[in-house]
């Protein structure tokens, strides 16, 4: 528990919503030398190409040292070793949804990422028509504890296209359900899960007010500090159309908010 407390402290110190100097848009496919205050100008950071590149104002994704993927059934044939060599340092892998769906590619991605030495976590897509405790038990039934795992993830966003559930509970209900899910997984795995969310869900529900919670934020058109004012974050999903060696087609790419040293502690 002492190690977990240290990791959380480092994240709170480094995963600020602002910070960092500007960088140019990510259009290349190779690591680049990135300077700026607080960063080693000689250090190589990943700079992945993008099928729909964005001209970033302010601090760009390429100025962060630690990048990773999130994947699900829609990504097949990944060469995890090639992705790892290209600069992919972690993977969030869809595991479950609701109380009865297991992503058909979960076990393939889970085992292959581990074999390539890529730290990984599972994520659960929350279903607003089933109790949080039942969903937590479904996740636990399908995602075994494993050495080298990152904190798992609760994905909370509106799903207006669901064929079975388009409910939009108010913020108090959402936050209570999230807390139940996080508490159950923390007791089982020993690390408190991260919450992934989108701009509209964050604005509608006040999910960012949850205590003792780290956030993974989607923001593909601007830095999170502009889209989530005042919100601290641990991970930033900056594109859904990234190009990564070893990954067929476009893919979601994310950065970790902290330094390489902070990542070494967090990912143990």
> Is the CB of residue 157 less than 8 Å from the CB of residue 166?
no
- Beta bridge pairs of residue 256: 235
Distances (CA, A) of 208 to 121, 127, 193, 217, 257: 21, 19, 14, 10, 16
Average predicted confidence (pLDDT) for the chain: 88
Percent helix, strand, coil in the chain (nearest 5)?
Answer: 30, 20, 50
Domain 2-266 fold is: TIM Barrel (3.20.20)
Domain extent listing, the chain: 2-266
By annotation, the residues acting in catalysis are 70, 155, 157
Give the per-residue pLDDT at 35: 35
Q: Tell me the pLDDT band of 6, cut-offs 50, 70 and 90.
A: very low
Burial 3-36 (b: 16+ CB within 10 A, else e): eeeebbebbeebbbbeebeebeebeeeebeebee
Q: Tell me the pLDDT band of 238, cut-offs 50, 70 and 90.
A: very high
Assign residue 256 a region (left: φ > 0; alpha: ψ between -120 and 50; beta: otherwise).
Answer: beta
Q: Could you give the CA distance from residue 223 to residue 237 in angstroms, rounded to a whole number?
A: 10
More confident residue, 24 or 236: 236
What residues contact residue 179 under an 8 Å CB cut-off, 6+ apart? 210
Q: What is the pLDDT of residues 33-68, one digit of tens each?
A: 333 334 444 458 999 999 999 999 989 999 999 999
Beta pairing class for 88-97 and 67-71: parallel
Q: Which range, of 16-20, 179-183, 205-209, averages the lowest pLDDT?
A: 16-20
């Amino acid at each position: 528990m002492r190690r977990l407390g240290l990791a959380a402290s480092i994240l709170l110190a480094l995963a600020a919503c602002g910070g960092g100097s500007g960088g140019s848009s990510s259009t290349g496919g190779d690591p680049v030398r990135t300077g700026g205050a607080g960063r080693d100008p000689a250090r190589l950071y990943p700079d992945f190409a993008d099928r729909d590149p964005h001209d970033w104002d302010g601090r760009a994704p390429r100025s962060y040292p630690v990048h990773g993927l999130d994947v699900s059934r829609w990504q097949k044939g990944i060469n995890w070793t090639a992705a790892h060599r290209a600069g992919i340092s972690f993977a969030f892998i869809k595991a479950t949804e609701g109380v009865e769906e297991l992503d058909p590619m979960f076990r393939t991605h889970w085992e292959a990422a581990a074999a390539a030495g890529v730290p990984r976590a599972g994520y659960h897509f929350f279903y607003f028509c089933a109790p949080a405790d039942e969903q937590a038990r479904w996740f636990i039934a399908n995602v075994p504890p494993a050495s080298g795992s990152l904190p798992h993830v609760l994905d909370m966003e509106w799903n207006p296209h669901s064929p079975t559930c388009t409910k939009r509970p108010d913020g108090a209900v959402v936050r209570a359900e999230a807390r139940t899910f996080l508490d159950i997984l923390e007791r089982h795995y020993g690390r408190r899960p991260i919450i992934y969310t989108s701009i509209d869900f964050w604005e509608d529900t006040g999910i960012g007010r949850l205590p003792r919670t780290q956030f993974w934020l989607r923001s593909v058109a601007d830095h999170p500090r502009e889209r989530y004012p005042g919100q601290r974050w641990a991970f930033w999903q900056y594109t859904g159309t990234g190009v990564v060696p070893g990954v067929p087609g476009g893919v979601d790419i994310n950065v970790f908010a902290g330094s390489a040293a902070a990542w070494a502690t967090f990912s143990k």
